[in-house]
Structure 1
Amino acid sequence: MKKISTIFLLLAFILAIPTNAQSGWTKAKNDYFFILDYSSYKSSDFRNNDGKSLKTSDFSQKAVSIYGEYGITDRLTAITSIPLFKQNGYETTNNVSGFGDVRLELKYQLLQKLFPLSISVAPELPTGRANNFATNNQNPLDQINLPSGDGEFNVWTTLAVSHSFAPSKLYASAFSAFNYRTTYEDRDFQNQFQSGVEVGYKIFDKLWMNSKVLIQTGVGKGPQFADFIRGDGTTYTAVSVGGMYELGNNFGITAQYFNTNSAIVKAKNVYTNNILSFGIVYQKK
């Protein structure tokens, strides 16, 4: 189980979800895992700051990203997430696109054996386009900013624990994460807290299935002007199911379904949606 990389590659830009494998395991030395991922969603169900549903014109986002893990040592893994392309737009506007915010991460395994425990620190760099204006199709003078990056430097810190139920091919993980956010154009962003659990099982010796439930809430004083497109003041419950099918020793394909809702934590300042993602994996294990 040490070499397993669970898949949770979603639209981190809108939902501020960490794209790392949130588990207690690290990669073995010189082992690696890379995935090229495509994600897409469309929604008209916006939840405001009070959690009330507002009908809008369809908002859509498409994204292409690269995610990778590399084992520096058996207990230290380097991780990166690179959003190569993000396209945003409303039904009533043109689509705008750009490069996203790059995330760099170091993950260290504190405990091994029965209950691997890891801690990771992940700075996210403001490499995306913080200002990217879409134009109303009916009125060129009416514009809305749909950036491909949030414009601020932030740092995720994650603590995760896992367990393999050997000799069965079942595993489970739990994690908590804190996102320290800074400012953009003298505007303070609210910090964020996430926690979640994941269960996975290997089928037919080639197919890994996984399911995850997580919540996100704000920490500290709420934002004066909540901004969904930058993930500010955003809370939600999220559920995902998906898997990876191994094609030989090095290649694989992934598929993931992801939904945001109010099942545990009320969805606020976010579009409730159904996200689909597909990826191609290259790995050494």
Structure 2
Amino acid sequence: MRQYILTCIIFILMVFQVSAQSGWTRKAKSYYLLSSLSYYSSKDYYTTEGNLSNTGSRFNSSALLFYGEYGVTDRITASLDLPVIMLNSFSSTETVGGVGSVNLGLKYKLFKKAPIAFQAIFEIPTNNGINLARAKKANELGTFDEINLPTSDGEFNVWANLIASKSFPDGKTYGSIYTGINFRTNSFSNQFHAGAEVGHLFFKRLYLIGKLRIQEKLDSGNENQNGSFLYGEGTTFTSLGLNAIYKLGRHLSVLTGYADYTDLLVKRKNIYDGGIFTLGISFGI
């Protein structure tokens, strides 16, 4: 059972880092900065077969996140996605913390006028994937068990994405679709993901953005790999989310977000089912 409990932790941390998908690139020398807090808590676990299993122990994770974009040219945008600090615990363990994996991205607009872009994101581990949390109570032998709650999975990944966007004539509505593959190392299975988002501007200050995302497993990986269940191996899902962005001024905005999981398009496997809450502030020119 404990092995099942640990299966989806890295997946949860990965979801915290997912940013908006857009076929547009930033103007040269312009930038965008976002600092946010995220929180997640759940005890409902879906097994590798897709069955709901109440583990009896609640998993909690919170994070301070930093995201930034910079326009290298009008058609090339560089990005940085960094969980500065992540705190993980079960209801039965102490809380442990660490830095999450660093994501460095480059997005290239394929055509001058059409907002279609190719994006490569390099996910760089910040540790070896080991971060032990001590149980609050001693076991039957009088010793304290330790459970691994990593903040980085210890492997190098490359995300390759193709993104297309469109703005509508009213100037207040946009839509984006995207698809891509996560090429994983250390014999983990590669992953396919795709999604869409639609946003609309209300009252000249409030953006509401709806999001849909799916993830599937592409290959079998190395079934005998030691500890592969600790890093979301075989994790699949459908995710639905809603973001609200309120413009405080020309450059400053506040953001709130909520995301959760369903079996709408892809069945939940190897994942806790619960909502992720996000609150942030952004600045861009």
Give structure 2 stretches of 5+ with no counterpart. Answer: 1-8
Query: Offset of 1:222 from its aligned partner?
Result: 5.0
Residue 148 of structure 1 is aligned with which of 142, 151, 159? 151
Q: Which residue is equivalent to 1:16? A: 14
Pairing 1:211–2:214 present: no
Q: Which residue is equivalent to 1:251? A: 252
Residue 202 to residue 73, structure 1, CA distance change in 2 (3 Å): same
Whether the 8 Å contact between 1:240 and 1:257 is mirrored in structure 2 is yes
Distance 1:25 1:128 in 2: 33
2:12 aligns to what SS in structure 1?
A: helix
Distance 1:241 1:227 in 2: 31
Residue 99 to residue 15, structure 1, CA distance change in 2 (3 Å): closer
Q: Which residue is equivalent to 2:220? A: 221
* Count of matched residue positions in the alignment of Structure 1 and Structure 2: 269
Q: Deviations over 1:41-92 (max 9, x none)?
A: 1101001110001102111110111001111111000011011011111011
Pairing 1:176–2:175 present: no
| Runs of 4+ deviating beyond 4 Å | 225-229
Q: Which residue is equivalent to 2:31? A: 32
Q: Which residue is equivalent to 1:69? A: 69
Query: Offset of 1:138 from its aligned partner?
Result: 1.2
Distance 1:266 1:156 in 2: 22
Question: What letter is aligned with 1:123?
Answer: F
Query: Offset of 1:106 from its aligned partner?
Result: 0.4
Distance 1:118 1:96 in 2: 38
Cα-Cα RMSD: 1.8
Q: How does 1:20-99 map to 2 (within 5 A)?
A: 20-56=19-55, 57-99=57-99
Residue 150 to residue 74, structure 1, CA distance change in 2 (3 Å): same
Give structure 1 stretches of 5+ with no counterpart. Answer: 1-10
Query: Offset of 1:112 from its aligned partner?
Result: 3.9
Q: Which residue is equivalent to 1:165? A: 168
Q: Which residue is equivalent to 1:4? A: none
Query: Offset of 1:230 from its aligned partner?
Result: 2.0
2:110 aligns to what SS in structure 1?
A: strand
- Shifted more, 217-226 versus 143-152: the winner is 217-226
Whether the 8 Å contact between 1:155 and 1:180 is mirrored in structure 2 is yes
Query: Offset of 1:261 from its aligned partner?
Result: 2.0
- Shifted more, 75-84 versus 136-145: the winner is 136-145
Whether the 8 Å contact between 2:128 and 2:152 is mirrored in structure 1 is yes
Question: What letter is aligned with 1:141?
Answer: F
Distance 1:230 1:30 in 2: 37
Q: Which residue is equivalent to 1:272? A: 273
Whether the 8 Å contact between 2:10 and 2:150 is mirrored in structure 1 is no
Residue 203 to residue 228, structure 1, CA distance change in 2 (3 Å): farther
Whether the 8 Å contact between 2:37 and 2:64 is mirrored in structure 1 is yes
Distance 1:117 1:88 in 2: 37
Distance 1:88 1:123 in 2: 24
Q: Deviations over 1:155-175 (max 9, x none)?
A: 001100000002341100000
Q: Deviations over 1:236-276 (max 9, x none)?
A: 00000012111111211000010022221011111011010
